[in-house]
Structure 1
Amino acid sequence: MLGYDFYYIGYVCGYLSLSNIKQGVVNGDVSKDQFKEITGVDYTE
């Protein structure tokens, strides 16, 4: 399981896209609240 830091750093550095972060929520690696913290937008299905 990947952690919050992996997704946050990956997104900020441009290695991960919004869809990658959504997949992280689906996988249970990050919560919907963390999704908003990382991306600045609300999580939608």
Structure 2
Amino acid sequence: AAETGAVVYTLDPVVTGEAVPGARDAYLEAMRRNLETLKKALG
């Protein structure tokens, strides 16, 4: 990216371990952030 001046966007891979209370909400929030990142990247 440095050579071409390209913008790099990072997505959260949402790697999860054992199920814990609130894990579903954390997963959904990470997916929402990923969606916003994709919207920004794709214009």
Band the TM-score falls in, shorter-chain normalisation = 0.3 to 0.5
- TM-score (ref. length: structure 1): 0.35
Answer 1 or 2: which has greater helix percent.
1
For the pair shown, which has the larger CA radius of gyration, 1 or 2? 2
